[in-house]
Structure 1
Amino acid sequence: MNTYPQFKRLNYFINKEFQGRYIFNYFLLAIIGSIVFIAVFSFFSSNTLSIVYDNYHLQIGLTPGLLFKKILSTQWLFVVFGGGIVAIVTLILTHRVAGPFYRFEKTLDEMLKGDISKKIILRKKDEGKELALKINTFNYMLQDKLSTMENFNAQIAVSSLHLKKALSDSELGVERFGPLLNEILDSQKNIQAMINSYTFTREKF
């Protein structure tokens, strides 16, 4: 059973709320990291002097004051470009989670409607392959049991009809056992109706 065929999922932004939240959190983490870096650098260099040669001017002063603008401009470049890279990487990584979640949700919705014939198919690098395999295995087992129940139920119906015909032909208690046979046939029809409420593949696995 090949559960993970090779195919490409064209829509990378599957769950906008889920993926957007993670992208925002990682981007926010990058900003906080930059602020913390500036704060730590300023704290440890607050009592040091630096000499800066900038635009043909030589400047001497406290390190945080002289280098603050340079550090800030560098950090903003890091936040903008690094944040963009983080957003792209996060989108790709969350896509491997959001895609399977989407498939799980759709398959479970179909199962709640009685359709257990659907199979969860994930990509090779998707997360949740073990869960998908267990759900697929459960559906296969349930389909097999329903198919077996349907066969047994059909045999009960055939046997009941044969017995009813035999009693009718021999006139040996057809009036006595007829109602009981009718109850059996009614129960058989109810069982078949319950089985028919499910959509499944009627084949042996």
Structure 2
Amino acid sequence: MSKKFKRRKYFIDPGIQGEYVTVVLIASITAVLITGGTIYFSIWSSILDNFSRPDAIAQLAPVFVTTNKVLLSRLLIGFGLLIFLSIFASHRIAGPLYRVHQEVEKVLGGDLSNDIHLRKNDTKRIVIFSRTLNKFIHLLKNEIMRERKIGEELSSLSERVGKEPSAVKEKLKEIASDINRSTREFKL
């Protein structure tokens, strides 16, 4: 029995994933600072207003320091967890995009032999996009195969040109018509 593929590298495209993590962090930090700051200052100002005696405030000072340390440590742990989760979540987008990019680079290099295959749990929009790219690659492949066939026919005709000029002329008209028909389908 073969081993199931296990992802080993979660940070594969620093550009996309860095942007994603940055947006998530900025949004989260802003929400935490506004909400948490409002609650924090409301509670502490209410406590300090009710304990206006200097000796009561002095007794609250250690509680204030301890509370701040606990809150700060929990915030740091929370932000660390948030960074980890956002990298993990961004990989669900960056991983398939990276794979599609690699396959498109192969196509640009002239390799039309592979389809783009993504995992079934990858981001649905990217899976749909890759299927559309596969259709395009198949269309391109078919056009290239047709052009190769035309090239072979032209080679064959060039050998017959002196022997059967009228038959060659008719076949050339047919090939030219076929090329014109297929190229009219494309907008340039």
Q: How many residues align?
A: 161
One-letter amino acid matched to 2:13:
N
One-letter amino acid matched to 1:109:
E
* Equivalent residue number for residue 172 of structure 1: none
* Equivalent residue number for residue 165 of structure 1: 163
Which of 41, 44, 50 is the matching residue for 2:42? 44
Matched, 1:99 2:66: no
* Equivalent residue number for residue 136 of structure 2: 138
* Equivalent residue number for residue 186 of structure 2: none
**C-alpha distance in 1 between matches for 2:71 and 2:40:** 14
* Equivalent residue number for residue 199 of structure 1: none
Matched, 1:117 2:113: yes
1:89: how far off? 1.4
* Equivalent residue number for residue 79 of structure 1: 75
Larger radius of gyration: 1
Flag the 1:50–1:24 CA change in 2: closer, same or farther, 3 A: farther
Which of 15, 18, 21 is the matching residue for 1:20? 18
Which of 142, 145, 148 is the matching residue for 1:147? 145
Which structure carries more helix by proportion? 2
Any idea what the Cα deviations from partners look like across 1:108-145, whole Å, max 9, x if unmatched? 22333333333222122222101111111100111012
**C-alpha distance in 2 between matches for 1:164 and 1:67:** 105
Check whether the contact 1:18–1:98 (CA below 8 A) recurs between aligned residues. yes
Any idea what the Cα deviations from partners look like across 1:45-89, whole Å, max 9, x if unmatched? 4345568xxxxxxx845xx97865354333322222212221221
Unaligned residue ranges in structure 1 (runs of 5+): 1-5, 52-58, 168-176, 192-205
**C-alpha distance in 2 between matches for 1:87 and 1:40:** 24
**Normalised TM-score (structure 1):** 0.61
**C-alpha distance in 2 between matches for 1:139 and 1:84:** 42
**Normalised TM-score (structure 2):** 0.65
SS state of the match for residue 162, structure 2?
helix
SS state of the match for residue 12, structure 2?
coil
Which structure carries more strand by proportion? 1
